[in-house]
Structure 1
Amino acid sequence: MNSKRGRIDRFLASRLQIPSRQAQQLIRQGEVLLNGAAVTQVNIIINEFTRIECQGQLLQALAPAYWMLHKPAGVVSATSDAEQQTVMSLLPEIAQTQQLHIAGRLDKYTTGLLLLTNDSRWSEAIAQPSASKRKHYRVTLQNPLTDDYVSAFRDGFYFEFENITTAPAELTIVSDYIADVVLTEGKYHQIKRMFGRFRNPVVALHRYQIGQIVLDDNLALGEARELRADEIASVVI
């Protein structure tokens, strides 16, 4: 059982492979410690960061972890893949023991800011469409840009397959072939599909900011670092 949130008795029954009644008895007898303190209530709610001990056996002791990675092209945003290199292989050894998952994936050939954590509430907050979770991209295109792109992105695009209209997006023309795009959502290959309406292929796509978290200029491609406290706190759960 993944104990992200749930009752302590159910966690014990699953973790120790014992009947629920036996798990509840262990709790009532004071044999279970949560964060170092004995508990006797069977319905206490725990999460993935609750330290859990039972009869001297440590069952769970996971600390919150938050990382940023400068993702290179050609690496898949996945925790495991039988055939392709994943972003997890680029992380330091300590990060690979922290049960991380990806908070906002990038496709294989997109570069830039990738966030990883073991805090499910934090990653869910990042995934919510919100002006405070705006995602910033630098886009290089095959054909020149015109002012028509700005208004079209602001108005949104109807995607027939999903029967949705994209939320207003902010496009700023940097040069003839380069634009900055800011999204508040993340539909499947959204940026490439939006430029596809102009029959203008995306040559390169790079994410450099999510909310207030900006890709560290000191990170080379493939390098990672832990997030600072202010970066973690900028994501309001």
Structure 2
Amino acid sequence: MPEESVRLNRYLAMCGAGARRKVEECIAAGRVKINGEVVTELGRQVFPQDKVELDGEALSTVAQKYLIFNKPRGVLSAVEDSRERTVIDILPPSYDRFRLFPAGRLDRDSEGLIILTNDGIFSQELIHPRNGFTKTYEVELRRPMDEPHLIEWSDGVTYDGRFLKPISVRRMGRAPLQHWFEVVLGEGIKREIRMMARALDNDVRRLFRRKIGKLTLKKLPSGEFIDVSREELWRYIRDGKVV
């Protein structure tokens, strides 16, 4: 626990309770107590002697962890699920105490690069659009795509009343030809690539996240991870690193 007081939303993030939006929702919903009192003020100060609880469970700050993880297909980007395996379930039991969560998401049928952390402030900085960290995907479509549809995709498409536009999309020289594309996204709306494909009368067969910023996944086996420091991870994302 820091020697000086910190805002409640920041304290929860330091305890690994989730990214900023999630912990703020928990506070607003009355799920947080300080010294037995329900607190709904995001900016309430937490002091070293205070007892903070979330859903009746006492919280304490833990060492911050940052994992570069290769998510397998068929695994949920979630902390827990009663029916399906999550990215947290794959980790060794020794990581349970760190209360890790995914910084951003890949849907169940997608695979590739994802960051696991218990640093809610880092997670918010990574995923917020204003910071401009792009994400690069390799996408296999079920049906070949001709040049007119590729141009249409590049210019942006509308799906279910929402306009969706990638930063860039280019054809890849990978078999089967005219099925594989590299897609770069900025903000990253949930299932955005799948929605764009459907708007073009196509569908995604395989989706692999290759990059976050300039951090590139090439060598790390599926289901494996690398434990790095916060400084190392930011350097990899901003300046480049192949893992």
Do Structure 1 and Structure 2 share a fold, with TM-score over 0.5? yes
Larger radius of gyration: 1
Matched positions, count:
200
Equivalent residues of 1:153, 1:170 under 8 A apart: no
Matching residue of 1:72: 72
Match for residue 98 of structure 1? Answer: 98
| Paired position in structure 1 for 2:126 | 126
For 2:10, which of 5, 10, 16 is the aligned residue? 5
Paired residue for 1:179? 181
- C-alpha deviations, 1:79-112, integer Å up to 9, x for none? 0111111110111333221111111111111110
2:70 and 2:38 map into 1 onto residues whose CA distance is 46
Q: Deviations over 1:93-141 (max 9, x none)?
A: 3322111111111111111011111111211122222573111101112
**CA distance 1:122–1:233, shift in 2 (3 Å):** farther
Identity between Structure 1 and Structure 2 (%): 27
Counterpart secondary structure, 1:133:
coil
Cα distance between partner residues in 2 of 1:71 and 1:65 = 17
Counterpart amino acid of residue 211 in structure 1: G
1:130–1:4 CA distance, 2 compared to 1 (3 A): closer
8 Å CA contact 2:212–2:237 kept in 1: the answer is no
Runs of 4+ in 1 over 4 A off after TM superposition: 43-46, 233-236
CA contact (8 A) 2:164 2:196 kept: no
Query: Aligned partner of 2:36: which letter?
Result: Q
- Structure 2: stretches of 5+ with no match in the other structure: 1-6, 13-31, 51-57, 239-243
Map residues 123-202 of structure 1 onto 2, 5 A cutoff: 123-130=123-130, 132-160=132-160, 163-175=161-173, 176=177, 177-202=179-204
Distance 1:80 1:6, change over 3 A: closer
Residues 67 and 157 of structure 1, relative CA distance in 2, 3 Å threshold: same
Change (3 A) 1:233 1:142: same
Kindly provide the CA deviation profile for residues 126-164 of structure 1, in whole angstroms up to 9, marking residues without a partner as x.
22225731111011122222223442233222233xx43
**TM-score normalised according to structure 2 size:** 0.70
| Structure 1: segments with no counterpart, 5+ residues | 8-12, 21-42
Mapped partners of 2:172, 2:190: distance in 1: 24
For residue 205 of structure 2, what is the aligned residue in structure 1? Answer: 203
